[in-house]
Amino acid sequence: MRTLTPALLRHHAGAKSYWRGLTYRDSVVDLVVRSRHVDATVVGADAYRVSLAWEDTHLTGSCSCPYGAQGFFCKHCVAVGLVLLDRGLTVPPPDAEDAELRARLGELEHAELVELLYERACADRALYDAVMRVRG
């Protein structure tokens, strides 16, 4: 089940980060709900980039703050989630059509696409295998 709730945010962050995240809601700026994830900036002493997404049925959050950089679901992720809920929004499902990405890929030159795909496939064995299976 992919439902964003305050309880889910608290579960991922823990009580301390959840309660701290409550105080950061007014610091969320540049909130953009994209096709498959949400991006935002949380401004305080520093500005941190936050992204929320679903991986299968699990909510994931990434943040550029020191705590988030260690892989934790931090107060900034909580704040972004709470602002989404306040606005009646949610994190889109991971299998949603990504029209923005499809349009951007259509704008790229063939050589740019080849180089981008080559770089990614060299670093990602599953992508490499998928490319090698495609019959052109």
Pair of tokens at residue 106: 């259509």
Query: What integer pLDDT is reported at residue 1 of this predicted model?
Result: 60
Residues 62 and 110 in one domain: no
Residues 60 and 105 in one domain: no
Residues 106 and 77 in one domain: no
Query: What integer pLDDT is reported at residue 124 of this predicted model?
Result: 80
Query: What integer pLDDT is reported at residue 6 of this predicted model?
Result: 97
Residues 30 and 58 in one domain: yes
Residues 82 and 103 in one domain: no
Residue numbers of the domain that contains 115: 99-133
Q: What is the pTM of this model?
A: 0.75
Query: What integer pLDDT is reported at residue 93 of this predicted model?
Result: 85
Residuewise pLDDT in 10s, the chain (136 residues): 689 999 999 999 999 999 999 999 999 999 999 988 999 999 988 999 999 999 988 999 999 999 999 999 999 999 999 999 999 999 998 877 767 777 888 888 988 888 888 888 888 888 888 888 988 6
In a domain, 94, yes or no: no
Number of domains into which the chain is organized: 2
Pair of tokens at residue 125: 């064995």
